[in-house]
Amino acid sequence: VTQLNIGSSSIGSLPKHSQARQALTTLTGSYGSFSANTFTIIARTPDGSAILTTPNLTRVASLSQWIAQQTHVTSVISLTSFPATPGQTAPTTQQLIGLYSSGAYAQVPSLVQVVQATTQSDATILTVSSDLGIDTAASKQLLTHLRQDTAVAAQGLAVIVGGTQAQSADLNGVIYGNFPLTVLFILVATYLLLLLMLRSLLLPLKAVIMTGLSVAAAFGAMVFVFQQGHLQEQLNFTPNGFIDNVIPILMFCILFGLSMDYEVFLVSRMREEWQKTGDNVTAVAHGLEQAGGVVTNAALLFIIVAGSFIFTSISQIQEVGLGLAVAVFVDAFLVRSLLVPAVMRLLGRANWWFPGQKAPAQQPTTVT
């Protein structure tokens, strides 16, 4: 679970026979200059002055050279750095600066095309290609490096870093920026509702912790299979090195609600027995006997339905299916059937303690 890496869905999520994926595979394998992971950098003059002046062009050249020296950067295309025309000698950086600043570039068609494609008034675009996969740890580190450490090389130019990796990282930031608050709200609301329903201080806390185990099992299974690539041949998918960014938060909310349903079915029946007998051992045993079958049968049906998602050709759907199936299996057959009764047996009458609430008188009961 601690190794969970989130990212945006890529073309690698498509099945291998997809034409779009086959085309990308051909491009990346046969054309060394092609990169699916590009960074688009906008350099703008802070005072609104024209970018095509000697001082500003010198800053653009400095920025281009600095970026080109970074690890995993394969090419930089800018006003002062672009592939040479075959059969011609590429002009030096100083020659390019002179042509742009004097306006003489207008007599060179190739330079006119470069200016038209990259530059407007006080800003210019630098296109940076990388040999890293999108949403890998190294790609995220490169993005952070470009965003945080360009100030010296830019020499006063205002720099904005966009591109494929930047879009994914910013989307992840928006999705998960308030996720801790979402988790906190769900935990507190669940505890309070169970507190009112069960009239117990310990049982709601136990329910939250046990449900967390089931959710952790789901995340662990997704990381093991889809992020690390185990069983990729059997399930016919290509690991991307991350879990799709919308799935963890979606899974957390679904699984927490589903697991709490099972908890309510089971513990509410135990509470009825407790109120009748006042004996914790009898309440746990009878509650498990009478409600356990309902929980496990319902879980089995859900596992069959969710498990069928694994046999699709889209990895995101497979991730959802595996996560749901594993979580429900662990929750129903291990947590609710074994851990919950065991913990409640150990806690004894403390399970049902609530301030100001009198425990029912214990009745002589035989556990069958």
pLDDT of residue 166: 94
Q: How far apart are CA 87 and CA 245, in angstroms?
A: 47
As a whole number of angstroms, the distance between CA 78 and CA 111 comes to 11
- Examine the domain organization and report whether 286 and 329 are in the same domain: yes
Residue type at 64? S
21/169 Cα distance (integer angstroms): 22
- Per-residue model confidence as pLDDT tens digits over 72-111: 999 999 999 887 666 677 788 999 999 999 999 999 888 9
Say if residues 126 and 67 touch (Cβ distance below 8 Å). Answer: yes
Residue 35 has a pLDDT of 64
251 in the same domain as 220? yes
Alpha-helical regions (H) of the chain? 19-30, 54-68, 93-102, 109-118, 137-148, 151-154, 164-177, 179-198, 202-222, 232-235, 247-277, 280-307, 315-329, 340-347
Same domain, 200 and 302: yes
Q: Tell which residue, 108, 66, 73, has the closest CA to residue 91.
A: 108
Full domain range(s) for residue 324: 178-352
- Which residues lie below 8 Å from residue 339, measured CB to CB, with a gap of 6+? 210, 213
220 and 152 in a common domain: no
pLDDT of residue 90: 77
Work out the number of other CB atoms within 10 angstroms of the CB of residue 241: 17
Domain end: 113, 148, 172, which one?
172
Q: Is 20 inside any structural domain?
A: no
Q: Kindly report, residue by residue over 301-339, the tens digit of the pLDDT.
A: 999 999 999 888 888 899 999 999 999 999 999 999 999
pLDDT for 274 beyond 80: yes
Pair (149, 182) in one structural domain:
no
160 and 194: one domain?
no
227 belongs to a structural domain: yes
242 with 158, same domain: the answer is: no
Q: Residue 11 domain-assigned?
A: no
Q: Decide if 77 contacts 64 (C-beta within 8 A).
A: no
Q: Say if residue 345 is in the same domain as residue 224.
A: yes
Q: Single out the residue of 341, 328, 330, 344 nearest to residue 203, CA to CA.
A: 344
Of 172, 202, 222, the last residue of a domain is 172
- Beta partners for residue 128, in sequence order: 39, 76
- Domain CATH code at residue 285: 1.20.1640.10
Q: Is the pLDDT of residue 25 over 90?
A: no
Average the pLDDT over 267-278 and give the result: 91
CA separation for the pair 62, 152 (Å, rounded)? 9
Residues 190, 269 share a domain: yes
Does residue 22 lie in a domain region? no
Of the candidates 336, 335, 257, the one whose C-alpha atom is nearest the C-alpha of residue 294 is: 336
DSSP string, 199-212: --SHHHHHHHHHHH
Residues 40 and 90 in one domain: yes
Integer Cα distance of 311 and 251 in angstroms: 19
For residues 262 and 225, membership in a common domain is answered with: yes
The confidence score (pLDDT) of residue 21 equals 67
pLDDT confidence tier of residue 300, bands split at 50, 70 and 90: very high
Q: What is the per-residue pLDDT across 193-232, written as a single tens digit (0 to 9) for each? A: 999 999 999 999 999 999 999 999 999 999 999 999 998 8
pLDDT at site 340: 93
Residue 125 Ramachandran class (φ > 0 left, ψ -120 to 50 alpha, else beta): beta
pTM metric for this prediction? 0.77
Residues 6+ apart with CB under 8 A from 27: 34, 36
Q: How many domains does the chain have?
A: 2
* 112: helix, strand or coil: helix
